[in-house]
Amino acid sequence: MKNNIKYLLLSCLILSTDIFAFHLVGPATRESYTLHYGITVRQLDLCTDWACTAPFSAFTGSQYVAVNTAGVVPGYGEISINLPNSGTYNHMRLTVDNAFVVNGYSAKASEGAYCASGSSSTDYSTEAAAKAAATDVTFTLVLSQFIKQGTGVDAPGYGRIIYGLRDDQTSIPGYFAKGVEGSGKTSISNYDPYTKIVTRDSGNDDLYITTVLQGDYDFGLGIPSTINFGITVLEHNGSQPVVCSEDWVSVGMCVTAQIGTCVYGPGEIMFDFVIQ
208-229 per-position pLDDT tens digit: 888 888 878 888 888 887 777 7
d(C-alpha 110, C-alpha 264), whole Å: 12
Question: Given the DSSP bridges, would you call strands 196-200 and 160-163 parallel, antiparallel or unpaired?
Answer: antiparallel
pLDDT digits (tens, 9 = 90+) for 97-108: 988 898 989 888
Confidence class of residue 116 from pLDDT cuts 50, 70 and 90? very high
**pLDDT value, residue 35:** 86
Reported confidence tier of residue 52, pLDDT bands at 50, 70, 90: confident
Give Cβ neighbours of residue 180 (< 8 Å, ≥ 6 apart). Answer: 186
Ranges 24-28, 87-91, 189-193, 258-262: which has the least confidence: 24-28
Task: List Cβ neighbours of 146 (8 Å cut-off, separation of 6 or more).
Answer: 200, 251, 252, 253
The overall average pLDDT reported for the chain is: 78
* pLDDT(26) > 70: no
* Predicted local confidence at residue 8, as pLDDT: 42
The mean per-residue pLDDT over the stretch 24-36 comes to 67
Q: How far apart are CA 118 and CA 130, in angstroms?
A: 10
Q: Where do the structural domains in the chain lie, given as residue ranges? A: 3-104+138-239+267-275
What is the arithmetic mean of pLDDT over 47-58? 89
- Rounded Cα distance between 120 and 28, Å, is 27
Q: How confident is the model at residue 6 (pLDDT cuts 50, 70, 90)?
A: very low
Q: Which residue has the higher pLDDT, 161 or 256?
A: 256
- Whether residue 37 contacts residue 100, with contact meaning beta carbons closer than 8 Å, is answered with yes
- What is the tens place of the pLDDT at every residue in 54-64? 999 988 999 88
